[in-house]
């Protein structure tokens, strides 16, 4: 008997490895050739072409609907619910279509290409049934059965959008009873969605890195004489500007300026001169001009547009159009510092007494916070057989303290979350005991207040927590806070009290002090002041004459965010709110500034003082009379205006004689 060959353990392991490799290779080859077979085009007899064409046409129709919808909505067929809850995060077109910002609160919201493809696929799967109509239009020629849910795969190509669908159908011809199976359907949408999306991303990245729109806005503000920033004038009486008028001026300016933006390598309107002409002027620096090296000819009339509104975002040459748009009806938020009730006012200084003692100097410096929405619009004019396609995206222009405030967040993209979690509903963590203290309805100080509305403000979102109520012998609210944000602010609100906020730190016991307000009607009366010796204030009161206006500004010292700005006398357009003022129902210090002007002579009088008003002074009162001086002789000359301003600021006697009077008005 022949002896077998003995194999050691190491040999056995080697054999097992070889056999495993052979098996793996066999499986790989099997899968490869199987896939080659599966990828072969599906062969369907010609008489069944109407079915294939019918399904493909519905892919066309439904796919176009999805593409056009996301084109209007910054690349989103379905906008995340949490974005729609925040009205400041998108531009709305009547509530039907909304264009979300691609940059919001430091976060990139640019959809990824995969997200766009998936949303197109999902839309078709959910809506193609409306087009197919259960194949009713084909029922005279075919019997179609075996239907199951359609599976769609959309793919963005450089020149079009390709749609493939797996939709197994058993089709029987009623003409000859022949039966076949059809499962593969496809469609090609002639729209450059991918290029439009890529161009929009490059514009967004260019803006984020260079803040070109913020800088253009700041330039326009600096160049506009109707928008004050820093300056000095020589005349008496304070200059003033209305923030509403500044907002209107800037809104109209930026609507026009942004329409001048052109994107290099796109199908844009040409310039007045050849590019080499602008490059010639680009070769001159400010230093060259200072040293006498100047151009030998005038620049083209649109040179400013070329150097400021011609953006090279790094896009290859293409036939797309791109514009930037702002419409005033989309809104603009603008704040100025310092300002008083929407009014910007200059400061009046004194000239050097030895040389310019007679002169009034008006000087001012304002800083602005500005925010407004801008929309980018990319157009593929040849898409959909010449019908055209538009891709929109939105971004906020952000300026703080006269500087662009955009955070460069790079080129991240946003993938839509699978499900939405309500910010305010997602509460967790420790329980906080919140009390609100102030003067109660009976006038007692430092009392726990009931029925105070408590909310949690986390910079952009505010969530209601409830009201303070009697519990365990105390007026309080015990609640958890939303988990999406830490170190937000507890906000206390109650009618007749000043809204107050307090930041949440580490202590779970929070006491919010709140100030009670008292509402007053008011009037303003005048007293003649004879400035010629013997100078004196007439105790008799007079009403303001026709053509005279008193501008009242009351500000709480050390609380610049609480002030009242009113005009007197009232006219037919004065609202009930503007006929009253509010003061704290407690001991408080106020700065009162009243300026009386005459339409013919300018500033003719007023009252300026720092006053302490006690709780006793105003308790149970509801009316206040302000007393002002009528400076005589009428200050016509610059020197007289200066003397009036100096008198209002420095004379203490009249301030004491003409203090406001509080009374009860029936």
**Helix, strand or coil, per DSSP, at residue 70:** helix
Better-predicted residue by pLDDT, 8 or 299 = 299
**361: confidence class by pLDDT, cuts 50, 70, 90:** low
Mean pLDDT of all residues in 239-255:
91
Q: Which pLDDT value is given to residue 574?
A: 85
**Helix, strand or coil, per DSSP, at residue 551:** strand
For the record, the structure tokens of 386 come out as 């010449």
The DSSP secondary structure of 226-244, one letter per residue, reads: TS--EEEE-SSS--EEEHH
Mean pLDDT of all residues in 456-471:
82
Q: Which pLDDT value is given to residue 523?
A: 96
Going 183 to 184 to 187 to 192, the CA torsion angle's sign is positive
Q: Which pLDDT value is given to residue 459?
A: 56
Residue 334 scores a pLDDT above 80 = yes
Mean pLDDT of all residues in 652-666:
92
Q: Which pLDDT value is given to residue 82?
A: 82
Going 377 to 378 to 382 to 387, the CA torsion angle's sign is negative
Residue 491 scores a pLDDT above 70 = yes
Secondary-structure percent of the chain, ordered helix, strand, coil, rounded to 5: 30, 35, 35
Better-predicted residue by pLDDT, 201 or 411 = 201
Better-predicted residue by pLDDT, 236 or 330 = 330
Q: Which pLDDT value is given to residue 359?
A: 46
Residue 352 scores a pLDDT above 80 = no
Q: Which helix (H) or strand (E) holds 109?
A: none
What DSSP character marks residue 461? Answer: E
Mean pLDDT of all residues in 324-341:
88
**351: confidence class by pLDDT, cuts 50, 70, 90:** very low
Q: Which pLDDT value is given to residue 282?
A: 80
Q: Which pLDDT value is given to residue 234?
A: 56
Q: How far is CA 206 from the centre of its chain?
A: 19
**494: confidence class by pLDDT, cuts 50, 70, 90:** very high
Tell me which of 99-108, 139-148, 423-432, 602-611 is least confident.
423-432
Q: Which pLDDT value is given to residue 15?
A: 44
Please answer whether residues 483 and 458 qualify as being in contact, where contact means their C-beta atoms are separated by less than 8 angstroms. Answer: no
Q: Which helix (H) or strand (E) holds 114?
A: helix 113-132
Pairing of strands 509-513, 427-438: parallel
Q: What's the predicted TM-score (pTM) here?
A: 0.58
How far apart, in whole angstroms, are the C-alpha atoms of residue 595 and residue 526?
A: 11
Which domains, and CATH codes, for the chain?
46-76+111-189 (no CATH), 194-404 (no CATH), 427-513 (2.60.40), 518-663 (no CATH)
- 560's CB contacts (< 8 A; 6+ apart) are 338
Pairing of strands 602-613, 588-598: antiparallel
Mean pLDDT of all residues in 535-564:
86
Q: What is the mean pLDDT of the chain?
A: 84
What DSSP character marks residue 305? Answer: H
Q: Which pLDDT value is given to residue 369?
A: 92
Buried b / exposed e over 495-519, threshold 16 CB at 10 Å, is eebbebebebeeeeebebebbbbbe
Mean pLDDT of all residues in 619-637:
93
How far apart, in whole angstroms, are the C-alpha atoms of residue 359 and residue 353?
A: 9
Mean pLDDT of all residues in 607-627:
93
Please answer whether residues 262 and 268 qualify as being in contact, where contact means their C-beta atoms are separated by less than 8 angstroms. Answer: yes
Pairing of strands 367-380, 588-598: unpaired
Closest CA to 454 of 438, 434, 480: 434
Q: Which pLDDT value is given to residue 506?
A: 80
For the record, the structure tokens of 424 come out as 């305010």
Better-predicted residue by pLDDT, 232 or 167 = 167
How far apart, in whole angstroms, are the C-alpha atoms of residue 548 and residue 485?
A: 52
**233: confidence class by pLDDT, cuts 50, 70, 90:** low
Residue 466 scores a pLDDT above 80 = yes
**360: confidence class by pLDDT, cuts 50, 70, 90:** low
Q: Which pLDDT value is given to residue 43?
A: 77
**640: confidence class by pLDDT, cuts 50, 70, 90:** confident
Half-sphere exposure of 659 (CA within 13 A, CB side): 11
How far apart, in whole angstroms, are the C-alpha atoms of residue 517 and residue 147?
A: 71
Q: Which pLDDT value is given to residue 299?
A: 87
Q: Which pLDDT value is given to residue 2?
A: 38
Q: Which pLDDT value is given to residue 415?
A: 47
For the record, the structure tokens of 374 come out as 């801008």
Out of 180-194, 236-250, 331-345, the most confident range is 180-194
Q: Which pLDDT value is given to residue 186?
A: 93
pLDDT tens profile 5-60: 344 544 444 444 444 544 454 444 444 444 433 345 577 788 898 999 999 999 99
The DSSP secondary structure of 385-443, one letter per residue, reads: HHT-EEEEEEEEEEEETTEE-----TT--BPPPSS---TTT-EEEEEEEEEEEE--TTS
pLDDT tens profile 218-229: 999 988 989 988
How far apart, in whole angstroms, are the C-alpha atoms of residue 150 and residue 595?
A: 76
């Amino acid at each position: 008997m022949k002896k077998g060959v003995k194999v050691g353990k190491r040999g056995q392991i080697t054999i097992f490895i070889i056999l495993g490799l052979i098996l793996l290779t066999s499986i790989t080859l099997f899968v490869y050739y199987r896939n080659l077979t599966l990828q072969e085009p599906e062969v369907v007899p010609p008489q069944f072409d109407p079915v294939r064409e019918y399904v493909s046409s519905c892919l066309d129709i439904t796919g176009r609907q999805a593409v056009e919808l996301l084109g209007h909505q910054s690349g989103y067929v379905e906008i995340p619910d949490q974005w729609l809850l925040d009205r400041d995060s998108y531009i709305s077109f009547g509530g039907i279509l909304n264009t979300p910002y691609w940059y919001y609160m430091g976060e990139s919201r640019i959809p990824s290409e995969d997200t766009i493809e998936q949303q197109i696929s999902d839309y078709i799967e959910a809506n193609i049934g409306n087009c197919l109509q259960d194949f009713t239009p084909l029922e005279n020629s075919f019997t179609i059965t075996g239907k199951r849910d359609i599976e769609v795969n959309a793919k963005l190509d450089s020149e079009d959008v390709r749609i493939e669908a797996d939709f197994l159908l058993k089709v029987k011809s009623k003409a000859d009873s022949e039966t076949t199976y059809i499962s593969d359907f496809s469609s090609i949408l002639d729209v450059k969605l991918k290029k439009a999306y890529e161009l929009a991303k490059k514009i967004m990245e260019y803006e984020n890195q260079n803040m070109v729109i913020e800088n253009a806005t700041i330039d326009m503000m600096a160049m506009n004489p109707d928008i004050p920033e820093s300056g000095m004038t020589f005349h008496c009486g304070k200059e003033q500007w209305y923030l509403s008028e500044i907002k209107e001026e800037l809104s109209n300016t930026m609507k026009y300026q942004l329409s001048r933006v052109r994107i290099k390598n796109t199908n844009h309107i040409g310039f007045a001169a050849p590019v080499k002409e602008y490059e010639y002027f680009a070769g001159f620096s400010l230093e060259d001009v200072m040293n006498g090296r100047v151009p030998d000819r005038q620049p083209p009339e649109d040179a400013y547009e070329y150097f400021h509104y011609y953006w090279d975002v790094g896009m290859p040459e293409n036939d797309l159009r791109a514009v930037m748009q702002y419409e005033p009806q989309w809104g603009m938020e603008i704040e100025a510092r310092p300002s008083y009730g929407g009014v910007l006012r200059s400061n009046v200084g004194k000239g050097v007494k030895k040389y310019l003692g007679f002169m009034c100097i008006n000087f001012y410096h304002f800083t602005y916070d500005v925010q407004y929405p801008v929309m980018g619009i990319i157009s593929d004019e040849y898409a959909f057989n010449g019908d055209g396609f538009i891709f929109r995206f939105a971004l906020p222009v952000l300026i703080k303290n006269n500087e662009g405030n955009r955070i460069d967040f790079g080129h991240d993209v946003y993938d839509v979350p699978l499900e939405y979690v309500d910010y305010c509903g997602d509460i967790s963590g420790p329980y906080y005991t919140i009390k609100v203290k102030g003067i109660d309805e009976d006038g007692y100080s430092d009392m726990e207040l009931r029925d105070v509305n408590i909310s949690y403000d986390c910079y952009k979102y505010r969530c209601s927590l409830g009201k303070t109520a009697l519990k365990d012998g105390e007026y309080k609210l015990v609640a958890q806070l939303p988990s999406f944000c830490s170190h937000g602010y507890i906000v206390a609100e109650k009618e007749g009290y000043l809204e107050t906020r307090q930041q949440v730190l580490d202590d779970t016991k929070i006491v919010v002090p709140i100030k009670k307000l008292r509402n007053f009607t008011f009037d303003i009366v005048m007293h003649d002041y004879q400035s010629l010796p013997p100078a004196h204030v007439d105790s008799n009161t007079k009403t303001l004459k026709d053509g005279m206006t008193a501008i009242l500004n009351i500000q709480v010292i050390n609380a610049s965010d609480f002030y009242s700005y009113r005009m007197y006398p009232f006219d037919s357009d004065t609202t009930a709110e503007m006929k009253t003022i509010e003061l704290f129902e407690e001991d408080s210090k106020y700065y009162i500034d009243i300026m009386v002007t005459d339409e013919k002579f300018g500033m003719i009088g007023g009252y300026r003082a720092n006053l302490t008003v006690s709780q006793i002074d105003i308790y149970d009162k509801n009316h206040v009379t302000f007393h002002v001086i009528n400076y005589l002789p009428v200050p016509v000359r610059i020197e007289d205006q200066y003397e009036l301003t100096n008198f209002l600021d420095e004379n203490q006697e009249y301030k004491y004689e003409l203090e406001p009077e509080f009374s009860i008005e029936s």
